[in-house]
Amino acid sequence: MIIKLLKQPQAIIGFLFITGLLVFSFYWPSLLDVDKTESLKLQDFLYDDEGRIIDAPPYSPSQVPPLGSDMFGKHIFYQAIDGAKYTILIALGIALFRILFSVGITLLNPRSSFSFLNDIVQATLYLPTAILAYILMNSLIMKQSMEPMSTIKLIMLQCLILIGVGVPPLISTFSREIRAILNKDYITNTFALGSKKVYVYHKHVLPELSTKLVLLFAQQVVQTLILMAHLGVLAIFIGGSAIVVLGDIFSPMPVAIPLAGEWAGIIGMNFAKIKAAPWAILTPLTFFALLIFALNLIIQGIQNCLETHKS
């Protein structure tokens, strides 16, 4: 499988892009020779050489290269680069646990068609996952505002919700796939030799499922990223947020500031200023798009492998 994937140039490009972005996200201060704290600090005003105020944030890309700033004067580019590691790792983690939970639950009763679950999945097919996740995460945030909980606990619960909303459709998919494998003649032959179920799953079912698992994992990462972006627009951030009131006494403007630096948070935070500073949203959106594009390249590569395997 890995050797076959290495023969797919698009998969290699996608993988290198994501790995490169992740490495850059961890080491950007030393690679760009900048001070991280200085680069990500709030910048109230822009001054000219004589110390006079010439502008207030948000700053355009021409004023603060390369990609401008947000409404607090923080560099969007540095924020996006720094937030890449949180975004990628959270998405990878959620996708991984979705796959693990779904396979685990399916293997508890592999012969079951999970027909009740299929009915639920079919019924919720037209209900956007983002709305479901929003309702659940919003009630969590409401609860947190009344009974404060630690950030780690909050992140864990938020991740559990994001994992949970993706598991039922995956169980439905896996139960179909596993039943198809279990119906194969060589599985009956293996059972006829006296093998235990655990052995059959370990040696026959899971290896056969492996390519599909990798494909579904990549698809889940994409889905999680899209879901995170949607939740960001709805001002639901992983790791919670702090509310800052901007504006003046006559027109106060509460803004939710994400406590973690992931991209969805940058989008959500700047959504109120979409007309005044579109770059503050377009930059993380572009990063999202590039990341999803890279993942799609990997998915394409895996699908090519699956097709050559079939033929």
E-only strand ranges, the chain: 46-47, 53-55, 241-247, 252-258
Cβ distance to another protein smaller for residue 38 or 119: 119
Cβ distance to another protein smaller for residue 123 or 198: 198
φ, ψ (nearest 5 deg) of residue 245 = -100, 120
Decide: is 208 part of the binding site for another protein (CB under 8 A).
Answer: yes
Decide: is 190 part of the binding site for another protein (CB under 8 A).
Answer: yes
Task: Please list every residue from 159 through 188 that binds another protein, using CB under 8 A.
Answer: 183-186, 188
Q: Give the count of residues interacting with another protein (CB under 8 A).
A: 19
Each residue 72-111 as x (binds another protein by CB under 8 A) or -, in order, gives: ---------------------------------------x
Decide: is 189 part of the binding site for another protein (CB under 8 A).
Answer: yes
As a whole number of angstroms, the distance between CA 85 and CA 36 comes to 15
Residue 51 φ/ψ region, left for φ over 0, alpha for ψ in the -120 to 50 degree band, beta for the rest: left
Element of type H or E holding 98: helix 76-108
Least distance in angstroms from the C-beta of 182 to another protein: 8
Residues 6+ apart with CB under 8 A from 225: 87, 91, 288, 291, 292, 295
Least distance in angstroms from the C-beta of 17 to another protein: 30
Q: 128, 199, 245, 274: which one contacts another protein (CB under 8 A)?
A: 199
Decide: is 115 part of the binding site for another protein (CB under 8 A).
Answer: no
Q: 3, 108, 152, 193: which one contacts another protein (CB under 8 A)?
A: 193
* Number of neighbours of residue 194 by Cβ within 10 angstroms: 7
φ, ψ (nearest 5 deg) of residue 150 = -65, 155
* Number of neighbours of residue 293 by Cβ within 10 angstroms: 13
The residues of the shown chain that bind another protein, judged by CB under 8 A, are 111, 183-186, 188-196, 199, 203-204, 207-208
